[in-house]
Amino acid sequence: MSIENRCILATQFKFMGQTGFYKGKVRDVYTIGDKLIMVASDRISAFDHILPRPIPYKGQVLNQIASWFLEKTEDICPNWVEQVPDPNVTIGKACKPIRLEMVIRGYLTGHVWRTYNSGKRELCGAILPEGMKEHDKFPEPIITPATKAEEGHDVDISPTEILEQGIVNKEVYQTLEKYTRAIFQRGTEMAAERGLILVDTKYEFGFFDGEIILMDEIHTPDSSRYFYSDGYEERQKKGEPQKQLSKEFVREWLMENGFQGKKGQKMPVMPDDFVLRVSERYIELYEKLTGMKFEKNNNSKIMDRIETNILGCL
């Protein structure tokens, strides 16, 4: 059986009472009344583009990590989850999304490093201290929000601009910041227990019955970046690259093959051996983060399994 035949590339279910369907970069989302059915596919995206080939078990990894972390943080902030009827499926509240990504960064890595390296010392209103080098820890985590784009690139935005544009009011934004910092702190502590550093991540929120609700996934390798704790300080002192457990190595492979999502660039197609290595990295992160053995589901009739499990909840 080929790699593609063991993966969920797209779904086309038709449920009784279905009122909406949305295909995201990774998830297929069905609306039935005030419920959302979110199917985590095996699609993978980078630089805001969906790559041509799916990654075996990626959707299962994402759905199960997100469910695990949402359960572990529901004492901090209410979330949208009601049921997880299948390894690839979550059913929950259909919230009205707040069109922001609350990005929080504990380290000078990725986008914020590229900004810093260009000479800028401010990002989204957050001041970046002088004298830092790549992957250094910030004195305190910084929040760098982005507007949530329907398609294409999300755009950095400062809290002042958020209020000026009326995306949310001051009280709501302050609540979003409070939740973001508290959830990140919890994630940081949980990662540390497993020998990992939660470097940066993003959260999405919405409203349900007037209440702010944590939506989507949290602390997965698609939404977050992790370093290994062991050897971090030594690598920083020597100026060596940090050992990462995240999707960053996929972006690095794309850049090595001439693709950064820019106009005119041709997207390379990952060979089988690299696809399987990516799958192994996702499974490794699941096991490293949760301390649990990853159980590969039988994907020979994956669509039938998913549909049966969803219908059993409707």
Residue 2 has pLDDT above 90, yes or no: no
234 close to 141: Cβ distance less than 8 angstroms:
no
9 close to 43: Cβ distance less than 8 angstroms:
yes
Does this model's pTM top 0.75? My answer is: yes
Tell me: the pLDDT tens digits for 95-133? 999 999 999 999 999 999 999 999 999 999 999 999 999
Amino acid 167: pLDDT: 96
Please state, in angstroms and rounded to a whole number, the distance separating the CA atoms of residues 22 and 35.
13
Please state, in angstroms and rounded to a whole number, the distance separating the CA atoms of residues 270 and 205.
33
Token digits for 311? 């219908």
Amino acid found at 12 = Q
Residue bearing tokens 């929120």: 205
40-43: which pairs have CB atoms within 8 A and are 24 or more residues apart? Answer: 40/8, 40/88, 40/89, 40/90, 41/7, 41/8, 41/9, 41/10, 41/11, 41/88, 42/7, 42/8, 42/9, 43/8, 43/9, 43/10
Residue bearing tokens 């959830």: 183
Q: Tell me the average pLDDT across 24-38.
A: 94
Amino acid 300: pLDDT: 76
Residue 55 has pLDDT above 60, yes or no: yes
Token digits for 7? 């993966």
Average pLDDT, the chain: 93
| Coil/strand/helix, residue 226 | strand
The domain spans of the chain are 97-238
Please state, in angstroms and rounded to a whole number, the distance separating the CA atoms of residues 185 and 282.
23
Which residues neighbour 113 within 8 Å (Cβ) at sequence distance 6 or greater? Answer: 134, 135
The candidate with the shortest Cα–Cα distance to 79, out of 218, 223, 219, 215, is 215
CATH superfamily of 97-238: ATP-grasp fold, B domain (3.30.470.20)
| Coil/strand/helix, residue 184 | helix
Amino acid found at 148 = K
Amino acid 148: pLDDT: 74
Q: Tell me the average pLDDT across 64-72.
A: 96
Please state, in angstroms and rounded to a whole number, the distance separating the CA atoms of residues 9 and 59.
10
